[in-house]
Structure 1
C-alpha cells in the first residue's frame, strides 16, 4: 500500500492504547478497497493535543487545517472520539493501525451521499458494501443507519 499508510503506521507505533489515532474518511475507504478508491489526505480521530505534538516532533508542518510531512501526504485531525462506533485494529507492515469499522464507514459515506448530495460517496458506500457483503454485521449496519436516519439510503446499496 501507499506511503500514507506507512506514515500512519509510524504515528500509531509511537502512541499506545487509546492514544493511537483512528483512520476515518476517504483514506479508510482507500485502505479497505486496497486502493480502488483513492483519497488525497489522511483523516484521523484522536486526542488533538497528543497528535499535534507528535506530528511536530516528526517534522510535520501545519498548513491550513492539514499537517504535511511531504507535499503529497496531508493529515487532518477531524475529531477526537469514535464514541458509538466500532474500531478495528489491522496490521500494516507489522504495525497496528486503528481504523473505523466498515459498517460505520458505509454509514459515514451514506451521510455524505444524502446530506452533501455527493455521488462519489454514494459510490464508495456501494463499493464497500459489495466488497464486504458477506463479512458485514448487517444488524449493526441497519441499527447505525436507523440512528442516522438513513433508512431510505438502504436502497442505494441494495441492502
Structure 2
C-alpha cells in the first residue's frame, strides 16, 4: 500500500512538473508574441514619422506616393532605404519637373554644336591652311547648304553631311 501511494505521489509530481513546464512555455510564447507586436508597432510608427518628416519639406515641391509598408511576420523587418542629401541642402527636382514653370523658361545648357546660321562655320572664316582639307571641294556662298544637325556648310549636291554624316534634305 505504501508503494502504491508512493507511485501515485510520484505520478502526481511528474504531471505537476509537466503542467508547470507547459505553462512556462506558453507564457514565453505569449511574451514573445507581445514583444514582436510592440516591435512591429514601433517600427510602423517610426516609418510613419519618418515619412511625415520627409513629406513636410517636399509638400511645395512634389507629391510622392509611397507603397504601403510590407507586413512581415516572424522575421526582422528590413530598414527602409532613403535617399540622402548633404546636410542643409533641400531636395532638388529636374528642370522639367518644376511645377508651374514651362521648360522654355528654365536655364538651357548650350549646345555643343553652333546653330546653322553661326558665322563660325562660314567658309570664308576657315583658315587658309584648312581650305583644302576635306573630302569635297571647298564650298562657296552659291552652293552652300548648312547641315541641320551640326551646322556645317556642305555642298548642295551632298546627300550626307561631310562632318557628322547626317542625311541632308534634298
Q: If the TM-score is normalised by the length of the shorter chain, which range does it land in?
A: under 0.3
Whichever structure has more helix as a proportion of its residues is 1
Higher RCO (CA-CA < 8 Å; seq separation 6+): 1
Q: TM-score, normalised by structure 2?
A: 0.19
TM-score, scaled relative to structure 1: 0.20
